[in-house]
Amino acid sequence: MIKLKINSQSIEIPKGTTVLEAARKLGINIPTMCHLEGTEHFTSCMVCLVKDAGNGRLLASCSMPAMDGMEIITDDAECLESRRVSLELLLSEHVGDCEAPCQLVCPARMNIPLMNRLIASGNFSKAIEVVKRDIALPAILGRICPAPCEAGCRRKSIDEAVSICLLKGFAADNELTTNKHSVASSSNSGRKVAIIGAGPAGLAAAFYLSKADHSISIFEKNEKAGGDLLKIEETVLPANIREIEIQTILNSGVAIQYQTEIDKVRFTELQQNFDAVILATGAMNGAMEEWGLTLSKSGIEVDKKTYQTILPKVFAIGNALRPSKLAVRSVGQGKELAHLLDEYFKNDVLHALPERFNSKFGKLIETEYVTYLKESNTNKRVDASGGKAHGFSSEEAVAEAKRCLHCDCRNPESCKLRALADEFGAVQKRFQYDDRVLVEKEFVSKKIVYEPNKCIKCGICVRLTKQHQEAFGFSFIGRGFDVRIGVPFSESIEKALEKTAVLVAEKCPTGALALLDSEEQL
């Protein structure tokens, strides 16, 4: 038996145990990517470096055998920095998008490619579910949104952007017409939130907070909910659509008082009676300064990450912060604040929602169009034959959704590179000094996709194909920076992975090898 200390905790383990295994026995987590139980260790990714306190050297814990008397540190500043640097080096050559550009530019961060794929496959009910994770008023926005997402759509550089906005409207209309309205939840968290103003921002906040079982009371000065939406012409936004969609939110257990002006006194009362007060009042009102709030030129001053005003219980969203014509921004803020408050109610600390790490590689260049079109077709953008206010028919929607290029990664949740980049605060651009290489995608047997430029050269797939005695299998090709994983001779990947295609895709630590129909965010 071998005795050693890891982060000052003693442990005794049999000879031959690695430092990583010993640490795991102590419940100390050390990240790894190239290591896979059941295959021999390889020591390539180097995110598992730990420090030997004896000599100050960094060691790869995944393969370093534990030795008697060792004192290992896994979590000091230098170890953590080593993880960040190795991740940043790996990211500097990682050509791939975790999320599609359209999603990243959408103020509400809606998962557009997933919606597109669901519509394309005819799964409309799932599509609207995905839409509503981020957008509380999709039928309305499907008609009035200026669609910044379409400006970010990669398809735009090939011919025309995918008609995302109409697709979202289609998914929403489809649900409205099938009358699958949401029903008030029976459980209650006991937390109460007052929302002042029933415009897009207030409604969105109400929708998500109520979904999270908090009690919502909206105070609306007009006799109708909708705020600025009420000003939009019928030809653009038919009133019935607006009303049904708003009503659906209000029906989900949200209390609303119309024609209720809030003054300073009411405002103070609200703060006393509610756990949080959300100002979704639209354009600001000079009197608010007297309420104890601070104002900037454009609106109420808030913490940019938490929407918290100078008054601890009071939050502000939407046009109350800054006048904007983008209803989608207000809707997005409503959602964000709702999630934030939900966390706050659960943990009693107010934290900004973490910004997830996103690998990005920028614009497609012309030679890459072919690669991206492999996942799509070359059809022209479909127009809604009945006009935008009417929206797509099912056939039109399916046809249009199929134009989506699947720019997002297939493994956005299981990717260890992304998760660790998040955990250690890695910055992708840190060491990106060189021009990026071209995107490549190879589709194998309609089962898996190989994107070599997302590969971290950990060799797990090489070890697995060898272990399963593939006739060809994967092999390292070349050496140094240019080393890549490929197939021996001029064989196809199909031939190389006769037995292990699914296995290697499942075990790949990034999105370099992925199952073709992987939908981790469903």
Partner 1 sequence: MAEDLQHIHKQVDEIISNRGRTKKSLIPILQDIQRHFNYLPEEALQYLVEQSEITPENITSVATFYSQFRMKPAGRHMIKVCVGTACHVKGAMQVYDSFKRHFKLNDNDLTDITGTYTLEKVACLGCCTLAPVVQVDDVTYGHVTSDKVESVIADFESQVGKRGDRKQFRNADGSEFQGEIRIGLGSCCVASGSEEVKREVENTIIGTGINLQLKNVGCVGMCHQVPLLEVIDEKQNHKLYAKVKPNEVSGIINSHFKPKSLLGRLKAKGYSFLEKMQSDESWEGVERYALDVREDMVSGFLDRQLPVATEHRGVINPLDMDEYRSHGGFEALTKVLGMDRQELIQTVKESGLRGRGGAGFLTGLKWEFVEKEKAEHKYLICNGDEGDPGAFMDRMILESYPYRVIEGMLIAAYAVEATEGYFYIRAEYPLAVIRIRQALINCREQNLLGENILGSNFSFDMQIYEGAGAFVCGEETALMTSIEGNRGFPTIRPPFPAQKGLWGFPTLINNTETFAQISYIIRNGKEQYCSIGTEQSKGTKVFSLAGKINRGGLIEVPMGITIREIVEEVGGGVQNGKKFKAVQVGGPSGGCIPASLADTPIDYQSLTAVGAMMGSGGLVVLDEDDCMVDIARYFLSFTQNESCGKCTFCRIGTKRMLDILNRICSGKGTLKDLDELKYLAEWTKKGSLCNLGKSAPNPILTTLKYFHEEYEAHLEGRCPAGKCTEMISYTITDDCIGCTKCAQKCPVDAIKFEAHKKHSINTELCIKCDACRPVCPVDAVKVL
448 binds partner 1 (CB under 8 A): no
22 binds partner 1 (CB under 8 A): no
Shortest reach from residue 65's CB to partner 1, in Å? 6
82 binds partner 1 (CB under 8 A): yes
Which neighbouring-strand residues pair with 9?
Answer: 6
Rounded Cα distance between 369 and 367, Å, is 6
140 binds partner 1 (CB under 8 A): no
69 binds partner 1 (CB under 8 A): no
Shortest reach from residue 391's CB to partner 1, in Å? 49
Backbone φ and ψ for 92, nearest 5 degrees, come out as: -65, -20
55 binds partner 1 (CB under 8 A): no
Residue 488's nearest CA partner among 470, 513, 509, 514 is 470
Nearer to partner 1, 297 or 433 (CB): 433
> Which position among 471, 492, 517, 522 is part of the footprint of partner 1 (CB under 8 A)?
471
> Binding-site residue total for partner 1 (CB under 8 A)?
49
* Integer CA distances (angstroms), 325 to 283, 322, 387, 450, in order: 11, 10, 22, 42
Q: In this structure, are residues 364 and 357 in contact, taking their beta carbons and an 8 Å threshold?
A: no
445 binds partner 1 (CB under 8 A): no
Residue 206's nearest CA partner among 353, 318, 115 is 318
Shortest reach from residue 44's CB to partner 1, in Å? 5
Nearer to partner 1, 363 or 479 (CB): 479
Question: Strand, helix or coil at 78?
Answer: helix
> Which position among 90, 98, 141, 153 is part of the footprint of partner 1 (CB under 8 A)?
90
> Which position among 197, 368, 474, 503 is part of the footprint of partner 1 (CB under 8 A)?
474
Q: β-strand 475-477 against 484-486: which pairing, if any? A: antiparallel
Rounded Cα distance between 27 and 48, Å, is 15
Supply angle C-alpha 480, 510, 464, rounded to 5.
75
308 binds partner 1 (CB under 8 A): no
Cα of 429 vs its chain's centroid, Å: 19
Residues numbered 488-507 forming contacts with partner 1, rule: CB under 8 A: 488-491
Window contacting partner 1 (CB under 8 A); options: 241-249, 417-425, 443-451, 479-487: 479-487
Nearer to partner 1, 84 or 335 (CB): 84
> Which position among 207, 457, 510, 514 is part of the footprint of partner 1 (CB under 8 A)?
457
Nearer to partner 1, 44 or 74 (CB): 44
Question: Strand, helix or coil at 327?
Answer: helix
Name residue 323's amino acid. Answer: P
Shortest reach from residue 47's CB to partner 1, in Å? 8
Q: Which two tokens stand for residue 132?
A: 């509503």
Nearer to partner 1, 57 or 305 (CB): 57
> Which position among 60, 98, 114, 397 is part of the footprint of partner 1 (CB under 8 A)?
60
Q: Give Cβ neighbours of residue 91 (< 8 Å, ≥ 6 apart).
A: 359, 417, 421, 426, 427, 428, 430
* Integer CA distances (angstroms), 355 to 205, 252, 501, in order: 19, 29, 33
478 binds partner 1 (CB under 8 A): yes
481 binds partner 1 (CB under 8 A): yes
- The burial class, CB within 10 Å (0-12 / 13-18 / 19+), for 279 is buried
Binding mask 395-434 for partner 1 (x = CB under 8 A): ------------------------------------x-xx
Rounded Cα distance between 31 and 86, Å, is 12
Window contacting partner 1 (CB under 8 A); options: 51-59, 255-263, 410-418, 444-452: 51-59
Q: In this structure, are residues 244 and 229 in contact, taking their beta carbons and an 8 Å threshold?
A: no
Window contacting partner 1 (CB under 8 A); options: 2-10, 42-50, 150-158, 309-317: 42-50
> Which position among 17, 44, 103, 174 is part of the footprint of partner 1 (CB under 8 A)?
44
End-to-end CA distance of the chain: 47
Chain positions contacting partner 1, by CB under 8 A: 41-47, 49, 57-60, 63-65, 67, 82, 85-86, 89-90, 92-93, 431, 433-434, 456-457, 462, 465-466, 471-483, 486, 488-491
